[in-house]
Amino acid sequence: MAAPSFRKVPGDWTRCGMPGRGPQKRIVHGADAEHCKWRWQVSIGSPSTGQFCGGTLIAPDWVLTAAHCVGHIRHPCDVRTLRVGAGTSKRDTSKAKGLFVERRVARIFVHPLHNKNVQHDYDFALIQLDKPMPMNQCIGVACLPTRTEQVGTRCQITGWGTLSSRGATPELLQEAPVTLVNKEACEVNYTKQRQIVTGSMLCASGESNAGITDSCQGDSGGPMVCEEDGAFVIRGVTSWGQGCALRDFPGIYARVHSVLAWVEDVMGNKVRMVSAEDKQEEEDISGIDFRGAMWKVTSGKCTMDEFDCIMSPGFPEPYPSKDRCYIAVNISDAVPISVENFSTEAAFDYLSFNCRAFSGEIGPEGIIPDASIHWVSDQSIAGTGWRLCPSY
């Protein structure tokens, strides 16, 4: 489907549903998308796993994605590792240049009816970013639907998913045309597999010169958009299906029109039940006299010397078993840590802070603490311990 040809002026970039460029699909049997064309497409991933799902910008600081992409994330430390990238067609965002922007995640809201009665039902999640994305020729928002979708409407799917079932992944964003399919016709073969297509789902399938077009593994959470009244509307969120590009099994997408009230309530700050958020407990350090140092031992047998270095109990002798220490950190004065010595029983005796645990021979060299530091040793083998100094 050809994208509309709009003459761009700076104000246009704030309008929803405006593609970045005119058309020049693998998603299966798709083709490379033109750079910056699908401005609302975002990648969701982490530094350790890379990109694992897609999403759609529906406001500068809100992303609509699939619940099965982020529903397992609960702990603040897991939220803190997430990254949302926009403004590039490259799967590997470390190679992205130009107008690429990356944001952290502040809060995640999973639809309360997800998987409650039927598997895959209400497969929606909203991600609030830590700060808004800029609106420009490579980054923008898709429009939310204002009316019920129509069977037979031609739409576009995009993503970085595999090119075939369990196949290779592309380096560049893929696009492909699909058409909305009648629900009753769609569910005939799914019913034979004892799978249910509910009212919170849409079916779509398409064909290109290469064959049947469909989303596949890794496209989850990404958009299915349809051009309506000169702008692209987010009609579906890539959700599930039987294999990839099988003729009798259209792809199943979470139906955005079915949850408009929930989307508006979440974005309007009317929903208080957050599934996960990057929020650590506030620590009251107002009564602690740091005496100019960036930290202070407030409990346990750890010590601090005249150089403001902190040490495990008894250092340089082996630390005691079943021991704990708490070191408060004055975050405003924190500097990178210089590790003078670090040797603990790997995986059992550890220092933890900044959502990381350090044990064995690997200490927190060069890391700036942004939260209090905890030391824990178990009841067995003890190492020689640690000495950490501020790199003043």
Is residue 93's pLDDT more than 70? yes
Residues 6+ apart with CB under 8 A from 131: 61, 103
Q: pTM here?
A: 0.78
Q: 36 falls in which pLDDT band (50, 70, 90)?
A: very high
β-strand 223-228 against 62-65: which pairing, if any? Answer: unpaired
pLDDT of residue 181 exceeding 70, the answer is yes
Q: In the CATH scheme, what is the code of domain 289-390?
A: 2.60.120.290
265-309: per-residue pLDDT in tens? 999 999 999 999 998 666 788 899 999 999 999 999 999 999 999
Environment class of residue 229 by beta-carbon count within 10 Å: exposed (0-12), middle (13-18) or buried (19+)? exposed
CATH superfamily name and code, 34-129:
Trypsin-like serine proteases (2.40.10.10)
pLDDT at 25: 36
Positions marked active-site: 68, 123, 220
To 5 degrees, how large is the angle CA 350–CA 354–CA 359?
20
Distances from the Cα of 372 to the Cαs of 224, 265, 280, 299, in angstroms?
Answer: 44, 35, 11, 12
Instruction: Inform me whether the pLDDT recorded for 26 exceeds 60.
Output: no
Record the tokens describing residue 57, joined without a space.
């910008």
**Taking Cα atoms as reference points, which of 62, 74, 92, 84 lies closest to residue 262?**
62
Q: Where does the chain hold its CATH 2.40.10.10 domain(s)?
A: 34-129, 153-257
Q: Which residues make up the CATH 2.60.120.290 domain(s) of the chain?
A: 289-390
Q: Out of 2.40.10.10, 3.40.50.620, 3.30.565.10, 1.10.600.10, which CATH number does the structure's domain 153-257 have?
A: 2.40.10.10
